[in-house]
Structure 1
């Protein structure tokens, strides 16, 4: 049986996650929907199917679940891991439990490791004992496996051992079974770099995925726990929200326009002013004290690192499309208190007679010169694993997520040349340092890898 024609895949690139609609006859099931579930509901509408179930593979740590939104909109039942600890009505799915959608059976498989309660769902066509696909959530993913340290370092090794047993279970499935994971490329929930492909087959993964090729448990555990990337601090707030059951909102709310005076009042009351323009434009002119997080796919993840959860936000964004994208990304991770946007942008701020800040840029050639001079002025804000793989002589390291806590130490008394791999994370760090009173130069195009190549 070929499921491809009955399957819709909806990708959320900034979080590195997949959500699915699987149809059979006039019925459908949604798997791990994001909070802005309208994308999946539109897919169901296009197919003319009724959503009967929402399946959750685990208590999500990286986004607010859209299951409650789907139930409110469609009347679908929520089904999820029996040991999830949900505080709302749901169908508990333990080993062997199943739901039926059209002619298909979706059978629960206990697959602990990424989280203790993690449950995958094998898809069986009529009369078949052999699965044709498996929704694997955050357990087996394309080219990797889900990390096991999200619930704390003290539980990471035990969960990695459970994950090893789970990988053995996947390895025993039929070669041709489709692998339909939730986490993938771009997700901080992976133990190692996933491949770019969003889906795969068990056979392809058995042949190439390191998580399925480790010769024994000890090797698997060692490989899973080495070189893990830092993950956003907002993750700590997601599981409690998802266990309790997120409030149903219905749709992403659009923030209202705000005058410069209103923006000042919001900031004085505790809101964080976030400027979503690209780094070079921000460096040229910005509201003093604002945080620059350029609007790319991972915008929300870095907000979740740098702005404490629950803090009200006001935005500077270049246009209506950018405002909508920024607000949607924030909505997905529970940053609902977006109180407004600066009407007219930085030009309106300047025209009001208020002060505007700026700082200079640096080029990749400047980075090379700083490294050769041994100035010690370069601050590298990439992940530790990136730094360990190669960095500029004499540079200092502080991952962008750690910059707010280390500002007094990082400012020093001289100029700081801020760099990363591309100019994206360095834009954030430069804005933080400048707001704290440091003299900065921002490498806004290219970064450390480019400089290292030029140095030979």
Structure 2
């Protein structure tokens, strides 16, 4: 069967391309759709359907633009009621793609409209399952997201729906089916996804905790809901965009792709409430940046941290990027619904510097230099990694302020004495540093390489040992 996974690592997302006999289908496309159109063109195929497994929360799907550009039909599963024309498929309905068939399996739980698509080859053999966020490799979709859009859909209700969907629709299927999920490790749509992005259903029945046949419904609910962290704040807004529709990415980019010289950039920055977002590497940002700009580098989990740290999805944004990375920055913002970029600094930060404008810098030290500092004086150390990372292992005496909570804990950072900042590798701590600098702190240093490098020093570390539960 000709099916291809198109994986985008920065948001741990998988779309799928299915082609047979000159007809093609795309499953769960990203916002930018030209790569799918190009892929079908390469096969001299016409995109017939765009299948959506559910209303996505972690990205804005490209189904509307793709349908408009190719005349493909948009297909959702039962109960989906968006504000645009779709085929609302019935449970068990068959769609034909050339010599292949796609069977609809309604699998509510992650959301009520969640649907799994069973792929059947030209010989009538069941080949695989496109599971969306119903079943991941090693995990299942979290059932707490829909309640942020529809209050009546409590996480308990959805978890029970998910239990029944897995038992009645997924687990009875053949072990040799290939599972094609919508996400891999790093996505906020689950809590313990594997780095693997496909597997056999049979192996998942053996290894995935949620498919344990001995697990009762109540045990399943407890297991699935335990350990869930708050979802990123932009999730509900993305769901609504996917339900109600959105402006074409072509239109968004036309407005965003506006080069501004230094004078224009400065004027617009002063006259608007636009956020200056610098997407360069942490090392480049530290060496010089426009005052009051925030560093979220393209080289890391850009979309996730934009969504975590910029609470208003409609926030106007001015971009400072590495030369040639302007449009990539805009597209990656729009993937998660941040469509209000109003321009970028032409010729990048160097043009600002050459114009003699005010420049800020941030001091960084190596882990070895940190070791020497802490031998000679007591300096507070702040660890901005996730709590789970901190509990796993941390520098003795370090205070944990997770990056996504930093704005609620600013009072914990001293203003009258110096302190040290670190994360795992330097990406998140530079984001934190840029926020602190913007808020008026300037008496701190950042550790290059973060805890990864600190671990190699002789500084005392502590391992967290989970207490034994007495039965």
Contact 1:88 1:245 survives alignment (8 Å): yes
Change (3 A) 1:364 1:424: same
2:241: which partner in 1? 241
For the residue of structure 2 that corresponds to 1:44, the secondary structure is helix
1:293: which partner in 2? 296
1:167: which partner in 2? 166
Distance 1:265 1:163 in 2: 52
2:203: which partner in 1? 204
Change (3 A) 1:388 1:221: farther
Q: Which moved more, 1:160-169 or 1:417-426?
A: 160-169
Residue 147 of structure 1, aligned match among 131, 135, 142: 142
Contact 1:376 1:395 survives alignment (8 Å): no
Change (3 A) 1:441 1:166: farther
For the residue of structure 2 that corresponds to 1:82, the secondary structure is coil
2:133 equivalent to 1:138: yes
1:145-294 maps to which residues of 2 (within 5 A)?
145-152=140-147, 155-168=154-167, 169-192=169-192, 194-213=193-212, 215-216=214-215, 217-250=217-250, 252-253=253-254, 255-268=257-270, 269-294=272-297
For the residue of structure 1 that corresponds to 2:231, the secondary structure is coil
Distance 1:247 1:262 in 2: 26
Contact 2:5 2:17 survives alignment (8 Å): yes
Contact 1:417 1:441 survives alignment (8 Å): yes
For the residue of structure 1 that corresponds to 2:413, the secondary structure is helix
For the residue of structure 2 that corresponds to 1:132, the secondary structure is strand
Distance 2:111 2:370 in 1: 42
Show CA shifts across 1:89-122 (max 9, x none): 1111232122222222211112122122211111
Distance 1:152 1:442 in 2: 41
Show CA shifts across 1:261-294 (max 9, x none): 2222222201110111222221221111110111
Distance 1:424 1:247 in 2: 32
Q: How many residues align?
A: 449
- Extract structure 1 runs of 4+ deviating beyond 6 A: 370-374
2:85 equivalent to 1:89: yes
> Alpha-carbon deviation of 1:134?
0.9
Contact 1:122 1:134 survives alignment (8 Å): yes
For the residue of structure 2 that corresponds to 1:144, the secondary structure is coil
Contact 2:77 2:91 survives alignment (8 Å): no
Distance 2:380 2:5 in 1: 46
TM-score normalised to the size of structure 2? 0.89
Residue 7 of structure 1, aligned match among 3, 8, 25: 3
Show CA shifts across 1:196-231 (max 9, x none): 222221112122222223741333333322333453
Show CA shifts across 1:39-85 (max 9, x none): 11111111111111111000000111111011101101101022222
**What residue ranges of structure 2 are gaps of 5+ in the alignment?**
462-471
1:98-117 maps to which residues of 2 (within 5 A)?
98-117=94-113
Change (3 A) 1:250 1:256: closer
Change (3 A) 1:163 1:415: farther
1:308-387 maps to which residues of 2 (within 5 A)?
308-320=312-324, 322-368=325-371, 375=378, 377-387=380-390
Contact 1:37 1:69 survives alignment (8 Å): yes
Distance 1:71 1:230 in 2: 33
Residue 47 of structure 1, aligned match among 25, 39, 43: 43
Contact 1:232 1:401 survives alignment (8 Å): no
2:63 equivalent to 1:67: yes
Show CA shifts across 1:141-176 (max 9, x none): 112221222234882233223222233232221111
2:467: which partner in 1? none
Contact 1:8 1:43 survives alignment (8 Å): no
Contact 1:426 1:442 survives alignment (8 Å): no
Distance 2:117 2:14 in 1: 15
Q: Which moved more, 1:16-25 or 1:403-412?
A: 403-412
Change (3 A) 1:94 1:409: farther
> Alpha-carbon deviation of 1:442?
4.2
2:34: which partner in 1? 38
1:443: which partner in 2? 446
Distance 2:15 2:85 in 1: 22
